[in-house]
A = this chain, B = another copy of it.
Amino acid sequence: MGVECKKIEGGVTAPKGFMAAAAAAGIKYKNRKDMALIFSQEPCIAAGVFTSNVVKAAPVQWDQRLVEQSPFVQAVVVNSGIANAGTGKQGWEVCERTARCAGTLLDIPADAVLVASTGVIGPQVPMEPVEAGLLKLASEKADTLEAGLSAAQAIMTTDTVPKQIAVQVELGGKTVTLGGMCKGSGMIHPNMCTMLGFIATDANISKEMLQRALRADVVDSFNMISVDGDTSTNDTLLLLANGLAGNEEITKEGEDYDAFCAALRQVTVYLARMMAGDGEGATALFTCRVVGAASKEDARILARSVISSSLTKAAVFGHDSNWGRFLCALGYSGASFDPEKVDLYFQGESRRIHIYGGGAGLNYSEEEASAILAEPEVTVLADMHMGDGEATAWGCDLSYDYVKINADYRS
C-alpha cells in the first residue's frame, strides 16, 4: 500500500503517554522479574483477542469482560509465574483483588485494570507477593525506553530473549507511534493467539475500528505461528490506544485506517516471528511461504501445516533435506491440490534451490540443501500452481531441548 512505517527504538513506552515497570515479586521463582505493568497517563480504548481454548484462564475471562464492557482502560498488570488457569472461583477472585489493588495504587477504577498471567497451570496465585509487587510497580513506573525493556523482560517464561518493537507512521500530518511486547515460547499454536502480547499506541481511533484492525491483523500474524501445536489457556493479545498523537480520529475505513493497519502489521509480524524463532529449544526460525494456492485461506492452511509438523521440524533441526516430509505435510493439511503441479524450494538468506517438481524429486545438491537448512532462518517455498492465494507461516525446529524443557517444566 506504499505506507511508510519507520521502525524506531523501544517497545510499549515508545508511544506518547505510556509508562511501564517491572518487579521481582517472587510469585513462583526467586530473584527473577515476574511482574510487569503498562500504564497510560490518559484513559485508553482497548481491543483484544483471546484464546479459543474452552478452558480459559481467569485473567482471560476478566479481560474479555473489560474489553467488551468497560468504558475505558488504563493499565495492564502481568504476572509470569503462575497461569491462574484451572483455578476455579479463587482464580477469578485473584483477578478482582489484583485489579482493585492496582486501581487504588494508580488512582483509576478497578474496571480500568486489565490482568494477564502466564506460567504453570493449576496452582493458585498467592496474593501477598502480588500486592507487594503492585506497590513497587506503581511507584517505579516510568515512560523511559529502559522501563519498557524491563517490562518486556519481566513477562518472559522459557523465552530466551525479550521481544519488543516500536514503529512510527504519519497519519494526516501527525506522527503516530505503536509499541509492542510479547512473550511466548511453549504452548504456541495458531488459533488466537497462544501467547501474551501487548501493544500500546497513541493513535486516535474509535473502539470499533481498533477492534476491527486487531481482528483482521492476527489472521496473518500471530495466528500464523506455531511452536508445538498446543493452544494455551491464557493466550491474550491486547491493543491499547490513548489518542495522544492528536491525529483526526479514525472512525471508518480509508487512508488513515490502512496506514494504521500497515503499522500494526509491522509490529505484529515482527513479534510473531520473534516468538516463533525463540520457540522452546529452537535453533532456527522455520518459515513456510506458500504461493499459487487456490485461495488465501488454503495458502494459510498449507503454510501452517508445514511448520506445525514434528517431522519437518525434526528435519530442519537435523539439517536433513528430506523433502518428502514437507510434501507430506502439505498433503494432509486439508487443502486440496494436485501433487504433480507443486514446486518445492529451500531458501536461505542468499540462495534458493529447487527440490521437487513435476511430481518427483529433482536432481539437487544434498550438500547445498543441507547448508541452507543449517542457516538460522530457513524458508520452504511451495508454489501450488492452483491460483493466487499466498500466505506465510512461522515456526521453529524440534530439538532435544524442546523435550528437555517440557519433560520437567515445573521443576
Binding site for B on A (CB under 8 A): 51-56, 83, 85-91, 120-123, 186-187, 189, 191, 228-233, 308-311, 314-315, 317-318, 320, 322-325, 327-333, 335-337, 339-340, 356, 358-361, 398-400, 402-404, 406-411
Contacts and interface: CB of A to CB of B under 8 A. Distances in A.
A32 B332 CA distance: 31
Nearest to A324: B121
Copies of this chain present in the complex amount to: 2
A35 B334 CA distance: 32
B359 A88 contact: yes
A228 B360 CA distance: 25
A339 B57 CA distance: 11
Contacts of A332: 51-54, 189, 191, 230-231
B83 A331 contact: no
A86 B191 contact: no
B54 A337 contact: yes
Contacts of A404: 400
Among A191, A324, A398, residue most surrounded by chain B Cβ atoms (within 10 Å): A324
B121 A403 contact: no
Contact of A361 (B86, B191, B406): B86
Contact of A310 (B191, B310, B311, B336): B310
Contacts of A186: 311
Among A55, A191, A400, residue most surrounded by chain B Cβ atoms (within 10 Å): A55
Among A86, A121, A230, A318, residue most surrounded by chain B Cβ atoms (within 10 Å): A86
A398 B186 CA distance: 15
A332 B186 CA distance: 15
Contacts of A359: 86-89
A122 B55 contact: no
